[in-house]
Each structure stands twice: as C-alpha cells, then as structure tokens.
Amino acid sequence: MQDKVIVIVGATGGIGSALTRKLAPTGAQLVLAARDSSRLDSLASGLDSVLTIPTDITDQQQVQALMSKAVAQFGKIDVLVNAAGAGILKQYNQLEPKDLDAMIDVNLKGSFYTCQAAAEAMKEHKSGHICNVVGILGKHSMAMAAAYCASKFGVVGFSKCMADELKRFGIKFTLFYFGGVDSPFWDKVTLKVDRKKMLSAETAADAIMFALAADPQAVPMEINIQPESHLFF
C-alpha cells in the first residue's frame, strides 16, 4: 500500500472510517471525501499524508474537483473506494418521489460520477482499482427496499459496463456485496433490524483491504459476505 494514492468517498461513514483507520498506518496517501467537513477533519486528525476534501457526490462538478485536487496534490489516483450512500427502506406504496430522487441521486448517480471522474485520472497512468461498496441489495431483492435496490442494481449494471470498457487501460473493479453492516447507515432507517447480528464495519473494511492487497495480476471481481443470521444464495 506504500505511496498508493487512495481516494475514499464516504470516508466518514461506518465502513469508510474503519477502512481509513486500517489504511492510515500502511504508508498509503489518503484522500478523504464526504459532505461534512468537521467529521472529515476529526477523522483525519493525527494521520499523516491525508487530504480532506468536502464533496457532495450528487454534484458532478464537485466530484470532478475532488479528483482534480487529488491528482494535483499526489500526482495520480491508484484506488477509488466508493463507500458513500444512504438507505430509505419503505413499502413500495409509501415511497415518495423525493425518496426515489434521494436514492438515485446519491447511490446511483453519485457513484457513477465518482467512478467516471476517477477513471479519467487513472487512464493517464494505465492502471487503477475501483472498489464499489454496493451491498447485497445490488443483486438480491428485499421487501421494503424497492428504491434502494433500484439504485444499487444500477450501480452493479454501470460498474460491469465500465469494467469492460476500462480493462484495456489496466483499470479493474471490485464489487462488494455486504449484508447488513452495523453502522450509522441504520440510524435513520425506521425498519426494525437487529444490529447486534450484523457484520461489523471492521469486517467490511478487512474485505476491502484483502481486495487492495491482491496480486496485481489477480482481479477479485466480487466479494460477498453475509451475516450468519441472514444468508442469501
């Protein structure tokens, strides 16, 4: 990981912050992004070689500025970890247009903008690794998750298309299908869930570390980890 430039979007979240703490001692150069600048600053305090860039990924111009600033500071982008997102879990007939807009804007369009902008920077160096933290609801359905699943199935769709287009530039994709992860993600969700039975954010971050440490010739295309209480086959 030494000297790798790693952009983590959603760095202040449960998964993003666990990953940041694991990457910080490895000698990687970290670019941390999310909207709340004070949470970014407290995550970065005491860490070396860290740049924080407050960014709203629903705004394509802010996403382009994020990647440009990362390249201006560190000269390249080796890795993008997309760990930003949100969940609105409601019965289909209670979903309002604003709920659909929120899911599509952040989970689908925001992830697309970050992949698109990072890929343009990675193409210059003919190498790169894009890690999309999709979630199991990007490939399996669940009651109460119509809007969320729509956004996450979309992430899988565009990621696979981009992976195909970008392989000739040495850019690889890993898609992570985690089941429930105990994180602040669930604070605003009204659905009753048992957070004690979920995966920890550390487990999710370990899986991302595994993918990042893989042999450069090997592409861990998909990593699927579920809590024992909630298996999808």
Binding site for ligand NAP (CB under 6 A): 10-16, 34-36, 39, 55-58, 83-87, 106, 110, 133, 135, 178, 180-181, 183-185
The separation between the first and the last C-alpha atoms of the chain, rounded to the nearest angstrom, is 33
Beta carbon nearer to ligand NAP, 125 or 139: 139
Contact predicate 97/23, CB 8 Å: no
Q: Determine the residue with CB nearest ligand NAP.
A: 13
Q: Between residues 32 and 171, which has the closer beta carbon with respect to ligand NAP?
A: 32
Q: Looking at this protein, which amino acid is placed at residue 225?
A: I
Nearest-CA neighbor of 90 among 162, 27, 146?
Answer: 146
In angstroms, what is the minimal distance from the CB of 146 to ligand NAP? 15
Kindly write down the DSSP assignment for every residue of 139-160, as one continuous string: TS--TTBHHHHHHHHHHHHHHH
Query: Annotated catalytic, 92?
Result: no
CB 28 within 8 A of CB 76: no
Q: How far is the CB of 179 from ligand NAP (least distance, A)?
A: 7
Phi then psi for 146, rounded to 5 degrees? Answer: -60, -50
Beta partners for residue 34, in sequence order: 54
Which one, 21 or 123, has the nearer CB to ligand NAP? Answer: 21
CB 62 within 8 A of CB 41: no
List CB contacts of 68: < 8 A, sequence separation 6 or more: none
Nearer to ligand NAP, 87 or 128 (CB): 87
> Out of 92, 113, 148, 177, which one is annotated catalytic?
148
Annotated catalytic sites, by residue? 148
